[in-house]
Chain A
């Protein structure tokens, strides 16, 4: 996904204004003229200036650079699916790992991604099961990371 610089400039300008507006409500330190608002305010002001410069640069180049252009991959099914599976897998993990558990979700994530990347089904199945178990064992047993069991009973 390629965006014209002006689009990014506009986004960052909005961000910097939001920051400047938010820090207005920050408390002052009694007896000091400088507090928690000072540093973010300076940074946001600088960001606002840079965003304006970026907008100017983007508007000047609008003849050569379109506002929005798609990369090759967004037009093709295979990379698009692989991208969606990768991002979606992480999002599902964040939302549901406590309830469903690492082992089940990890295997499903690996399977989905490998299918999207066209690994042969049998190889994908074997790798998904073995890799998830190995990683689980190394971190849960070896490094004592409390990975969630979720739906499964505590097996070891």
Chain B
């Protein structure tokens, strides 16, 4: 049975049209990653209006391939211009640039390329192994477990990797309020629609994402007062030379980075950026030569380069099994899965296993073709980096307009990208992160539905949320995460009192 499914999946992926989509989105991803100011999330948001018109497998393949390429390609301007192409490369940009100045640009770029691919394959392997097993467990979940799972995801998004927990919580609550808009609630009462018929269906996710991740980025570009980056012209040699020695020498950091990246990816709300910052810090702490970090040392690049790509696959695990996105890219991807009638959840592993295996295959394929295509991208980098952003950004804006219009064929989508673009621009400027808000909007409906269903099942008795065994365990985990900052503060206070 499994073999039949796998061969079916091969048939789905190795179809000329799907392969063409993979190739085209790979090129698009490499380009977006290479151009500073265009992020992998933005690339996904821009792709969605096009995937809207594709069958499910190529639609998902486009997103998977494009993001993998973009996260790698972000390393290229980091090494050559000292400007990260995507935020996920920011952690080791200074390191890579220092290597370029020492004349080792090809080592920095080669390490970025080869270990991105290895990290991506590691994350994929974990996903292939874990997702079906988790789906078996998830089949036994009822509304109580799902309620806690969503709360756990939201709590993690707020507490892991945000500068101000309070602002992250507020951002999340705003997202949950946006999710309340429309008819989709118990009683089907039109909530917060202000009599607008466009809002009865709720705020469409895709225009909102395009606004928050693309339009806000364009606004940030047009208001930036930084001078255009200087350009260094240096010959780049064979990027694959010496990579095998590095693999052998740094096998443990590679493994550690990939594993940490996968875990950060699984954790809702934190993705490739967080993975690369944390693993760079971890690499420095565990390195035998921490004093070399910052002076153009390849170790940190290897470890966090692997981590940010492995997190991409990790993020798909909760997305496929529970419908809970692991990062903002999968938040968008889940929207696409719903549109394609591939509703995420444990039953998809039973009803459409060939589609799941096809997604696995696409991940493997994307990370393998990264090597030749990435090599080409590095060769072409000098020309791509000259792409004039003052021409690109207006064209991207027009593309956003058409893309958001295309979802419902009304100019209301364009209004949404304007409103959410401005909101994200102002709020991010003031330290409110957007990832929790997105997660709030994506998960708000699920949270409310499971909350209400559970309350009705238990006849309004809240204790039932804790008495089922798995629900109780999830509840305990959630309360620990929620109470953690408080516990730490209490502990410090007690220590101080003892010392005094």
A residues apposed to B, CB below 8 Å = 1-3, 5, 8, 12, 15, 19, 22-23, 26-29, 32-36, 38-40, 43-44, 46-47, 50-51, 53-54, 57, 71-73, 76, 79, 82-83, 85-87, 89-91, 93-94, 97-98, 102, 106, 109-110, 113-114, 116-119, 123-124, 127, 131-132, 135, 139, 143, 145-147
Stretch in contact with the other chain, from B31-39, B264-272, B366-374, B448-456? B448-456
CB-CB under 8 A from B414, the residues of chain A are 90, 93-94, 97
CB-CB under 8 A from B451, the residues of chain A are 39
Q: Is the CB–CB distance between B391 and A114 below 8 Å?
A: yes
> B185 in the interface, Cβ–Cβ < 8 Å?
yes
Min CB–CB distance B17 → chain A (angstroms): 14
**Quick one: which of B153-172 are within 8 Å of A by CB?**
166-167, 169-170
In the complex, what residue of chain A is closest to B388 when comparing beta carbons? A119
Min CB–CB distance B401 → chain A (angstroms): 6
Q: Is the CB–CB distance between B406 and A145 below 8 Å?
A: yes
Q: Is the CB–CB distance between A53 and B166 below 8 Å?
A: yes
Q: Is the CB–CB distance between B191 and A40 below 8 Å?
A: yes
Q: Is the CB–CB distance between A39 and B394 below 8 Å?
A: no
- How many residues of chain B get a CB closer than 8 Å to chain A's CBs? 59
17 contacts between A and B (CB under 8 A): A1-B426, A8-B432, A29-B186, A29-B187, A36-B186, A36-B187, A40-B180, A44-B177, A46-B169, A47-B177, A73-B224, A90-B401, A93-B414, A109-B398, A109-B401, A117-B222, A139-B402
Min CB–CB distance B180 → chain A (angstroms): 5
> B348 in the interface, Cβ–Cβ < 8 Å?
no
CB-CB under 8 A from A145, the residues of chain B are 402, 405-406, 409
Q: Which of B169, B406, B426 is within 8 Å of A139, CB to CB?
A: B406
Q: Is the CB–CB distance between A113 and B405 below 8 Å?
A: no
Known: A39-B452, A145-B409. 6 other contacts (CB 8 A): A36-B187, A73-B224, A87-B422, A109-B398, A110-B394, A143-B406
CA–CA, A32 to B417, complex, Å?
38
With known contacts A2-B429, A47-B174, A27–B166 Cβ distance under 8 A: no
CA–CA, A94 to B206, complex, Å?
17
CA–CA, A113 to B185, complex, Å?
41
What are the nearest 8 A-B pairs in CB distance?
Answer: A117-B390, A82-B222, A113-B394, A73-B223, A36-B189, A36-B187, A90-B418, A39-B448
CA–CA, A47 to B414, complex, Å?
28
Q: Is the CB–CB distance between A35 and B225 below 8 Å?
A: no
CB-CB under 8 A from B432, the residues of chain A are 8
Main secondary structure of the interface of A (DSSP, over half): helix
CB-CB under 8 A from B417, the residues of chain A are 90
Q: Which of B180, B388, B397 is within 8 Å of A43, CB to CB?
A: B180
With known contacts A1-B426, A57-B166, A97-B411, A127–B390 Cβ distance under 8 A: no
In the complex, what residue of chain B is closest to A111 when comparing beta carbons? B394
> B395 in the interface, Cβ–Cβ < 8 Å?
yes
Q: Is the CB–CB distance between B394 and A79 below 8 Å?
A: no
CB-CB under 8 A from B426, the residues of chain A are 1
Q: Is the CB–CB distance between B222 and A79 below 8 Å?
A: yes
> B341 in the interface, Cβ–Cβ < 8 Å?
no
In the complex, what residue of chain B is closest to A89 when comparing beta carbons? B397
> B463 in the interface, Cβ–Cβ < 8 Å?
no
